Every structure is written in C-alpha cells, then in structure tokens.
Structure 1
Amino acid sequence: MCGIAGFNWPDRLIAQRMAQTMQHRGPDDQGVFCDDHVSLAHRRLAILDLSEKGHQPMHYKGLVIVYNGEIYNFRQLRQLLEKDGYRFDSNTDTEVVVAAYHRWGAACVQRFNGMWAFCIYDPQQRQFFLSRDRFGIKPLYYYFDGHRFIFASELKSILVHQIDKRIDIQAVNLFFYQKYVGRELCILEDVRKLMPGHNLMFDLTSGRLQTERYYDLLSEIDAHRVQSIHDRLEMIEGILTDAIQIRLVADVPVGSFLSGGLDSSLISAIISRNHNNFKTFSIGFRDASYSELRWSRLVSSRLGTDHHYDIMDLDEPVIRAVCDAMDEPFGDASVFPTYLLSGIARRKVIVCLSGDGGDEVFGGYDTYKAYKLASILPEWLIKSVRPLVQAMPDSDKKVTAIFKAKRFVRDLGHDPIRRHMDWMATFNDDGRRQLLTEGFIPAGELLPLPKLRGLLALQFADIQYYLAEDILKKVDMASMLHSLEVRVPFLDYRLVSLVLSLPSQYLLRGLQTKSLLRRMASRYLPWQVVHRPKRGFTAPVSRWIRSSAWIQDCIGSEGYLSHGLLNKGLVHQMLQEHLAHKQDWARQLWLVFIFNNWVHRQFHAGDG
C-alpha cells in the first residue's frame, strides 16, 4: 500500500512535503516528479517486486503514474498486453496499470480486480486521470478552487498547501448523524472525495474537471439474474475461494486477522486448507465483555494456524495517538482496537486479509434482523412496550440487548430504508436539531436513499455509505498507521454482485443472518463458531468518558466549544447526566469529543 499526491503546477519542495506527511503509508521509498506543468509525489510500501524497478512515480510510454493499491489479476492482464506487443521492465502491478491505460484508456479500470486509487499524468494530452476502486477500499481526496487542483491519499497531505479551511455544515450533520463523513463530502468545504467506482479527468489546459461513474452495482446485480438461482449458488464458494487465494500473492509475508467471528474464521479456514502454519492475528482485552480472544484461539487451534495475539488495554495514549492521526472527525470507536490489532500483525507480516464486507454482502447486521422484525410485529404492540423498553437501565458494557431494543422502538417509522439508517444513527433528526440548532439539516437531505425494496435496499445503502466511509476508512486508517496492507476478499467484485442477486431468503432466513454463508462455513468450522451471535469490535467509550479528565475537557470546556457549532447547554447537560449515571449519553458524547478534538487540533493547535 502507498500514499499518492500531486497538483497542477511545478513545485518539487511542496511535493516532497506532501509525501512526507504520508510516510506511514509508505516507509520503503519516496519519489517526486516535476515538469513545467505538474508535480507528483509517492510513498511506497513495497509488496510486489521489491527492487528499485517498483519506484514511483513510474514512467511508461510517455505516461507517469502514482498508484496506491493492488490489482490481483495483474498477471492475466499482463499476458493480454504482451500479446498486443507491450513489454515490461518490472514484476509490479503498477506497470500493468499504466500499460492498461495506454492500451484501453479509461475503460481499463473495468478490467481490474482489486483495490486502487491512482493518478496517471499524460503530458501529451495535458491531462490527469484519477480513479478509485469500485467500493472505496482506498481513499482519494481532491481540492479544486477553479485554478489549483490538488489530490492526495490523505487530507493532511492537501493541507500542506495554503487553502481555505471552512468547515462544511453538511459534513458536520452527516458526522453527527452516522458518525462518519460520507458521500463525496469532506469536513472542509472545498475538499472532496472521489466517490467509489468513479474516475476523474482534469484537463490541465482548460482547467475543466469531470467525474464519471464507471461501476454500477445494480446493473451488475441485474445481469446475474438471467442465470438460474441454482447456478448462482454453485458459483459462490468457488469465487470466494479464488478471491482469497489471489489476495495471498505478494513478495512479502502475508497473514490474516482472526477474531473468531464467522467472516475472519472462514477466510482463515479456506487459507489453512492449502497453507500449513499460516499466520493469524487477534487481540484480547482485560475487560472480558470486549474480548473475543477465546473464540479466536478456539478457531486457530482447530485450523492449526500460527496464531499471534496480545492482551492489551485500550487506554488514553492509544486514544490520543489515533485521534492525532485523524484527517476528519471519525466516530467509530472500533478504530482503536483495529489500530492495536494492526500493530500486532505488523510485527510478523506486511499484508493481512480481513473479513470486512462480509456483513454487507451476506446480510450479517442485526439491523437486518430488526428490519425483518419490524415487518412482522404489529405497530400497536411496539408502541405499547416502548415505555417499558425505554425505562430499562443502561450498561457500560459492550452493545447490549437493551441498547438494541431501545434503538429499535425509538426509530420505528414507516419507511424501511430511512428507519434502517436511523437505527444506525447516533443523533437522529430530533437530536441533531437540538445539537446543531441553526446548522441542522434533515437526514432526507443528507443521504439520498436507493429506490429499492426489501433487504437489498438496506444492503445497497450500507455498501454505498457505511462500508465505504466507515468500515473501509477505519481499516485503511488503522492499518496504514502501522504500514500494514489489508486486503478484503469479501469485496471481490465478482462475489458482491453475485450474492446480492439472490432472493433475500438465502441470506436472511427467518431471523438468522448470513444463512448462506453459515451453511458454507459449516463445512470448515465448528458448529459453535458458525452459529455464535455477531459481536464485532467496539470500545468502552462510556467508561472512558467517565474516567478521563482530558476527554471530559474536550467535550465540555469553553476552549473546545468555542467553534460555536454545537449547543453548549445541551452538551453540558448530556455530560452531567452521563457522569451522574442518570442517562447513557456515551455514544453522543463520544462524537462531541471526536469533533471538538479535531477542530481544536486543526484551528487551535498552538493554543495553551
């Protein structure tokens, strides 16, 4: 994995500074290219062809590329290109990417199976061509003020330049709604993300910027439906197995995360059938309600993997380290255990496979069960039990059944997709209206929802928003801080559209999530692993808030609230009620902490 950056004028010094801000993304090499018109910069984490031939920016037939990612079918593409007369000097996928662009133009990305964010500079056409992979596994930010065009893997690299840092109120609303900044938005008004499955063309002569979508998931789903259900079911295990195998290709050590949950356990099981003593990694915590170590050790013992783990504490130094690295406010607290796990893995390997994407593709979230329940239970019954559920006591432990029940009855509404998004929300519309006052924007104006019905509508919305800008952003941020590349076989594009084309009963049977994947996994894993309830990474934010004077200061002190975007009275009230155990505001206060801390670092870093 790597870091890329560039802009539309020559300045070698600034390009070097942009690269240096992303040293963690690529500790093995740095390169800069400048001509009379552009500057490009690159940080390299060497994975394929560790020699100097993999140095970037890379030149090929008059083109120049900076590239972050892995194309898993690069060898097959290379063979096709060689038949057309192309020759290669390295064994990298980078060279195949730029050659593919030379041969097929923008359509080359349709042939790629992998994860990527790259820019190809064509001096003859005076054009930048940028692309981001289908599901947004790799990040790509850009800034354009009508004259200056700047891009980078991370926002902090763009901030090397002197740009206007106005906070985007839409992004603020989205953050407090869903705990991440989604869509193409960035927390800063003039910066944007290139959307997953999109290309960007920037004409250096005219200054014209154009984006276009090259990947349409719904069309791919429809294309599969001409096949019989039997044929589609027969294909799935073979494609998943191949998706895992091609993600093991590297010239450096490779391992796999193993939490003991269904997704990571199945990946490790499929690998272990052909690889003895394959390295797997997990983490344990002293608070047993947050630790899944016994499950990962059980699976490792059954599979015979070379398992590595530590029992660690999620303490304030970890929180500070990760918060200091955040480009934008990011409220998913599971980034902290993911950061620690990535550090454990990096001691032994440079590439790790992960089970991310399995819940979205195979239907694993509890909110999918809630959707099914809401379609069955009569509304009068839910309304009658709502006061009883809301009166139940809160807990500082991991997400409890009581918390889920409260969320279920709180956000029960008429539109299934909006209800699903509100179930995942931290501050719903009523909460944000109080918190943001004049800056409030309704949820309906923040996240356009797909015109779909049934389970597929929820999955599609999750893939479009939650997966791209929460799950994948979290994994990229946490792993790259340790210079660890993470690969996600459940997001092989051949698999995603195929599984989503199936009728929903193959994924959600009754109230059993991931029905199809569980049936497949039963041939590889113990029954108790296949059928254990979903847990997932999280963190004890309620306890952190009550025990950390620093976090309380970030939430409620005048210095951290001086930005004026939040209702101070409401914040103080929530904090006092939480500290006094009168009301559990942990998830809401955590977002206030993350936001205030980010604003303070960006605008008041030299204060005090």
Structure 2
Amino acid sequence: MCAIYGIIGQNNIELLKKMSASQIFRGPDSQEFYDHKETNVSFGINRLAVIDRELGIQPMLSWNKKFILVFNGAIYNFREIKKVLLKKNINFKTNSDTEVVVNSYAFWGDQAFNYFDGMWACCIYDIEKHKIILSRDYLGQKPLFYYKDKNKFIFSSQIGGIFLGENNFSVKPENLKKYYAFSHTPAPFTVYNNIFQLKPGEILSISTKNLEVKSKIFWDISDGPDFNEYFNNNHFNTFKSGFTEIVLKHSIADNKVGLLLSGGKDSNIIKKNLEKRYKDFKTFTLGFEEETYDESKYIKKDNQLNSIIKILSKGDIINNFKKISNNFDYAFGDSSILPTFSIFNEVAKSTNVAITGDGGDENFFGYITFDAFYLAINLKKILPNFIFKYISNLFNLFSNNDEYISTSKKIKLFFKFLHCDLKYLNLHWLNNLNNRDLNELSGLKSFEQNSEYEEIELLFKKSGNLMRFCQLYYFKFYLPLILNKIDMASMLNSVESRAPLLSKDVLNFSLNTPIKKNYKFFNNKYLMNKIFKDDLSDDQKKRKKHGFAFNTSILIKDRDIINSFIKNNFLSNKEFFYKKYDDHLINKDDNSQYIWNELILNICRQNNER
C-alpha cells in the first residue's frame, strides 16, 4: 500500500512535496518523485514496502523505457503473469508486483487491467504518446481522487492532498444528498463540486499537451463475470480446491502476514486454508466490554493459538476517535473505523501486511438484509402498502435501546420503510432516513425523481433477478463504505490489508453462480457452508452474522463530544440535526447512522476547508 499523487500542466515540486507529507502514513518507507519540467508532468509515491523492499523502488520504468509507473496496491497473480511475459522476452530486474504492472501495460495496454487479480490505484506515464493513465481496481479497494481546471490536473490518494493545491471548493447539494443516502458519495462523486474519484474499473487518460480527459470502464461487475486467459470459469468442485491457492497468493510478502480473526465464517475459512502452508502466523481479534458487541469469546472458545486479543474499553474508543479525527478528509459513515483502526494498530506491532475476511457477505449473501429483501419481495406481492404503514406506526410506539442490532430494532426498521419502492428499500434500511428527511437535508426535490440516483434505477433494470439486484446493490453502494474504512484504518497504521474473498476468482464465481444455488432464505451463506463444510465447526456454521461494530452511543450520546467536534456552520441543516439528535438521546428513534454521518462529514469539512 502507498500514496500516489501528481500534477499535470504545472510545475510545482513544492506542492508535490506537501502532498507527500500530508499522507506520509500511507507510505513511510520511502518518498520518491518524478518531475519533468519541460512537459509539466510531476508525480510521486510514498511507499509502504511489502514485496521486494530493496528493488521494488518507484517510480518504476518499463522494460522498453516507454512507461513510468507509480502504483498503490497489490497484484496477487503477478507471478503467473510474469511467467508469460518472460516467455515473450521481456526482462525483469525485480521480484515485485509493481514491475509486472508496468511491463504488462507496456505489452498489452489497457487490456492488462483485466488480467490483474488485485487492488490498485496507479498512474502510468506514456512518454511517447504524451499522456497520463490513471486506473482503479474493479471494486475500488484503493482510492484515487482528482481535480481539473483549464490549467492543471491534480490527483491524490487522499482527498486532502487536492486541497493543498486548491481550496475554493464548495459542497454540492446533489452530492451531499448522496452522502446522507449512502453514508458515502459513490464514485465518481465526492461531496465537493469539482473534486471527483475514479470509478471502480475505470481508466482515465489525460493528455499532457492540452489536459483532454478520456474515460473508459475495463470491467463493470454488473455486466457479469470477466473470464479471460487468466481467469477460468470455476465450477463448484474446482472452486473449493482453488481457494487455498487464492489465500496463499494473498500471503506473498516480505514479512509474515497476520490474520484479522473474528468469530464468523469468513476469517475462519481463510485461517483453515492458511494453515495448510503456514503454522506460525498470528491472528488478531478485537473484543468489547459490552457483551452484545463482543465476539472475542468465540476465539477463546475455539482455543485459537497464536491469537492476540485486544479488548477495547470505553476510554480506548474515545481516545482513538480523538487521535485519528485530524486525519479524516474523505467522509464515509462506517463507525467501525474506530475498532478497525485499533486492531490494525495491534497488527502493526508485528507486521506490515494482514489478511481480512471482507467480501464474504457480498459474494455469499451474508447480510441479514438479504433475507429482509427477499421477505419484502414476497410480502409486497400479497399485501397493500397501507398495511405496512399501519404496522410501521405501531412499532414507532416502542422505544429503542443500545443493544447491538436487537430483534425489536430489526423488526421496527424492516416495517418502517416497507411501503417504499423495492429498488430503494436497502438504501432506507441502511440510513434510516425517509425521502422527506433527505430532501430537507439537501433542499432538493423528491428522492425518487432525482436524476442523481438513476444508477440505482439502471442497476434495477439491468439485473433481471431481484436478488441479483440486491447483491449488486451491496457490491456497488455498500461495499465501498467498508473498503474506505479498511483502507483508512490500515493505512493510518501503515499496514497493507488484503481480502482473499474479494479475489477476482471469487467474484467471478459468485457472479456466475445462479442465485438459486447461492442464496437460500434464512440459511445464512448457504453456498459458503456447502463448499467449506470441512473447514468450519458445527458451532461456527450456526453462528449468526455479527458485524464489526461498537456501541456508538459511547460517542454520539456524549453531548460534550458532540459539542466539541460539531461546528454549526458546517451543518447542512442545523435545526434538522438537533431535532434528530434530541430524539436519539431519548430513544424515540434510532438516528445513530445519521448522527455519525453528520459528525464525520463535519470533521472532514473542518480539516479540508480550514
């Protein structure tokens, strides 16, 4: 993992160095720059050295000396690709995946990105054709932001790097509404009017002569799997045998990898497969003092060896929030950033690379909302909306509590929005805001009629199967929230985070598997249980999806903290916020997600716009 950043159209090495310094945590091992004054092209890299520390230095030149690369990420199948390129008489000087990226692009061009199994955000300078190529992986695991005006094009791994070059941005109401709706701003948008991010699977080409920008998508997962000579159509039997190899590819590093281990299925399956080659790797588990939030008891019960268990106290949570709040620049509303930061902080004491279980819920239907959506589909076939509204009003009479996803909380939320259009159900369930709330916050017209949300409409029409739509919804609109959290939490600790269950082979397998074989109502991760039945104990198979959450009331019900961090001039609707906040304090409604979103956005704006 690293930070990359650059300026096209202006020569400003001092700005480049400031951009580097502002995100040093992403790459503390070395900081290198390329600066070509004649063409006004300059870019840099803050490197976290994970593979080939001595020789994998960037910027890196291709074998034919026509391309220069700075690269943030990891390519897990780089050894297979390297073997092919060696047979084509392409020479290599390092053992790094970075050199495979630049030489692959030099040989195949844009098609190379379809051959990579990995996560990345990269910049390639095509010296002969006078253009910069920016690319982001197909799921958007690595961030890359950019800004363009008539004189320059700036890009940066952290959005805060853009503000070092320009600071005249205003918040765009349409994008602000997206933020409140999704708890982040789906690419290519940010909350700001002229700052964008590359979409997952996008390639941008920028002319160094006139700054003309061209865009193309090398893979949109809503189009289905992307099979090619490096990615075969794996069926049920071959997928199980191939998964061990996927996990082992994710463990290639100079240092021994650590594993983030929960009580759930995903990380325990990965652990079983890691053990087929390694016996002495460390696992890292986080626990909480409150029993309903704590999963560490499962690790103790399973008698895991080499396991480091960190129990977070209320004081730890508050201190960590204060510690990392100065680094918030891109707003995303995943409160588990705090426990995730804490567990990566433990990892950093032992290694600089860790494996996680992220991706299992999206690929194998692990979220409880999949069952809720399936139930909603069938209820809507037999009951009119006024019945749902009546039931919702009944549940509104019940107060909320701070237990982790209590049954009453789930039922109340389910019926609260059941009268909404199917395509918007998941959105409302996840943010607990209705259309009127979203309109009031942004000052825009009716949510469903707003063209800014046409991507949901298009996905709904394109998907064909309703449960496939639901799965793709979580890939496109919820997974980015998790990926932003993982990237930020790991990078603040200078640790590279890898997710085998987000491998392209796993993704292809899931997208190619008929829904009826992958999903069963109230049979959590049915297909995963079937494939990996020998890797899980009976107890692990029966455990319900928990999630990596903490009791946010520790922070958001503390008026002193809210008053200390919230600045009223950055609230989009002051009256709305304090009404929601007061209702939350008396348990009239669960507004925790909205309050957290508002808190993080407020802090980000303070940090960016000072």
Q: TM-score range by the shorter chain?
A: over 0.9
3-state SS, counterpart of residue 121 of structure 1: strand
1:294–1:211 Cα change, 3 Å? same
Q: Counterparts of 1:552 and 1:587 in 2: how far apart (Å)?
A: 18
Task: Pick one of 37, 51, 75 that aligns with 2:79.
Answer: 75
Matches within 5 A, 1:279-294: 279-294=282-297
Most deviating of 389-398 and 245-254: 389-398
1:126-184 CA-to-partner distances (Å, cap 9, x unmatched) read: 11011111111111111111321111111111222124221122221111112111131
3-state SS, counterpart of residue 320 of structure 2: helix
Question: Residue 554 of structure 1: CA displacement?
Answer: 4.0
Q: Counterparts of 1:425 and 1:583 in 2: how far apart (Å)?
A: 13
Aligned residues: 590
**Match in the other structure for 2:307:** 307
1:439–1:476 Cα change, 3 Å? farther
**Match in the other structure for 1:481:** 492
Task: Pick one of 179, 193, 197 that aligns with 2:201.
Answer: 197
Q: Is the CA contact 1:141–1:193 (under 8 Å) kept in the aligned structure 2?
A: yes
Q: Is the CA contact 2:224–2:511 (under 8 Å) kept in the aligned structure 1?
A: no
Task: Pick one of 295, 299, 309 that aligns with 1:296.
Answer: 299
Matches within 5 A, 1:343-422: 343-377=345-379, 378-379=382-383, 382-383=388-389, 385-413=391-419, 415-422=421-428
Q: Counterparts of 2:240 and 2:18 in 1: how far apart (Å)?
A: 46
Q: Is the CA contact 1:5–1:41 (under 8 Å) kept in the aligned structure 2?
A: yes
- Match for 1:2: what amino acid? C
Does residue 524 of the first structure (1) align with residue 535 of the second (2)? yes
- Match for 1:46: what amino acid? A
**Match in the other structure for 2:324:** 322
Q: Is the CA contact 1:578–1:584 (under 8 Å) kept in the aligned structure 2?
A: yes
Q: Counterparts of 1:437 and 1:260 in 2: how far apart (Å)?
A: 43
**Match in the other structure for 1:232:** 235
Q: Counterparts of 1:54 and 1:337 in 2: how far apart (Å)?
A: 32
Matches within 5 A, 1:241-260: 241-260=244-263
- Match for 2:105: what amino acid? Y
Most deviating of 249-258 and 159-168: 159-168
3-state SS, counterpart of residue 426 of structure 2: helix
Task: Pick one of 89, 96, 105 that aligns with 2:109.
Answer: 105
1:87–1:425 Cα change, 3 Å? same
Q: Counterparts of 2:557 and 2:488 in 1: how far apart (Å)?
A: 27
Q: Is the CA contact 2:288–2:550 (under 8 Å) kept in the aligned structure 1?
A: no
Q: Is the CA contact 2:329–2:608 (under 8 Å) kept in the aligned structure 1?
A: no
Question: Residue 428 of structure 1: CA displacement?
Answer: 2.8
1:419–1:440 Cα change, 3 Å? closer
**Match in the other structure for 1:539:** 550
Q: Is the CA contact 1:169–1:439 (under 8 Å) kept in the aligned structure 2?
A: no
Structure 2, unmatched stretches of 5+, are none
Does residue 88 of the first structure (1) align with residue 92 of the second (2)? yes
**Match in the other structure for 2:469:** 457
- Match for 1:25: what amino acid? R
Most deviating of 242-251 and 437-446: 437-446
Most deviating of 568-577 and 168-177: 568-577
Question: Residue 383 of structure 1: CA displacement?
Answer: 4.8
Q: How does the TM-score come out when normalised to structure 1?
A: 0.92
Q: Counterparts of 1:223 and 1:73 in 2: how far apart (Å)?
A: 15
**Match in the other structure for 2:25:** 24
1:289-327 CA-to-partner distances (Å, cap 9, x unmatched) read: 22110113334x2xx541112112243221123332122
Q: Is the CA contact 2:256–2:281 (under 8 Å) kept in the aligned structure 1?
A: no
Most deviating of 91-100 and 380-389: 380-389
1:298–1:270 Cα change, 3 Å? farther
Question: Residue 585 of structure 1: CA displacement?
Answer: 2.8
Q: Is the CA contact 2:123–2:134 (under 8 Å) kept in the aligned structure 1?
A: yes
Q: Counterparts of 1:525 and 1:443 in 2: how far apart (Å)?
A: 47
Q: Counterparts of 1:386 and 1:206 in 2: how far apart (Å)?
A: 57
Does residue 597 of the first structure (1) align with residue 598 of the second (2)? no
Provide runs of 4+ in structure 1 moved above 6 Å.
none
Task: Pick one of 476, 482, 500 that aligns with 1:471.
Answer: 482
3-state SS, counterpart of residue 121 of structure 2: strand
Q: Counterparts of 2:94 and 2:113 in 1: how far apart (Å)?
A: 20
1:281–1:524 Cα change, 3 Å? same
**Match in the other structure for 1:10:** 11
Q: Counterparts of 1:443 and 1:541 in 2: how far apart (Å)?
A: 33
1:340–1:121 Cα change, 3 Å? same
Q: Counterparts of 1:232 and 1:414 in 2: how far apart (Å)?
A: 37
Q: Counterparts of 1:368 and 1:506 in 2: how far apart (Å)?
A: 15
Question: Residue 498 of structure 1: CA displacement?
Answer: 1.7
Q: Structure 1 vs Structure 2: percent identity of aligned residues?
A: 28
Structure 1, unmatched stretches of 5+, are none
- Match for 1:24: what amino acid? F
Question: Residue 441 of structure 1: CA displacement?
Answer: 5.3
Q: Counterparts of 2:287 and 2:226 in 1: how far apart (Å)?
A: 43
**Match in the other structure for 2:153:** 149
Most deviating of 407-416 and 68-77: 407-416
Q: Is the CA contact 1:63–1:123 (under 8 Å) kept in the aligned structure 2?
A: yes
Question: Residue 217 of structure 1: CA displacement?
Answer: 2.3
Does residue 551 of the first structure (1) align with residue 557 of the second (2)? no
Q: Is the CA contact 1:171–1:182 (under 8 Å) kept in the aligned structure 2?
A: no
Does residue 426 of the first structure (1) align with residue 470 of the second (2)? no
Q: Is the CA contact 2:332–2:484 (under 8 Å) kept in the aligned structure 1?
A: no
1:435-464 CA-to-partner distances (Å, cap 9, x unmatched) read: 333587557533312122321111112111
1:522–1:382 Cα change, 3 Å? farther
- Match for 1:385: what amino acid? I
**Match in the other structure for 2:569:** 562
Does residue 503 of the first structure (1) align with residue 514 of the second (2)? yes
- Match for 1:389: what amino acid? F
Q: Counterparts of 2:520 and 2:92 in 1: how far apart (Å)?
A: 50
1:581–1:481 Cα change, 3 Å? same
Question: Residue 522 of structure 1: CA displacement?
Answer: 2.5
Q: Counterparts of 1:542 and 1:445 in 2: how far apart (Å)?
A: 35
Cα RMSD between the aligned structures?
A: 2.2
Question: Residue 286 of structure 1: CA displacement?
Answer: 1.4
1:251–1:563 Cα change, 3 Å? closer
Q: Counterparts of 1:25 and 1:365 in 2: how far apart (Å)?
A: 31
Q: Counterparts of 2:190 and 2:275 in 1: how far apart (Å)?
A: 41
**Match in the other structure for 1:514:** 525
Most deviating of 417-426 and 241-250: 417-426
Q: Counterparts of 2:446 and 2:179 in 1: how far apart (Å)?
A: 12
Q: Is the CA contact 1:541–1:587 (under 8 Å) kept in the aligned structure 2?
A: no
Most deviating of 408-417 and 449-458: 408-417
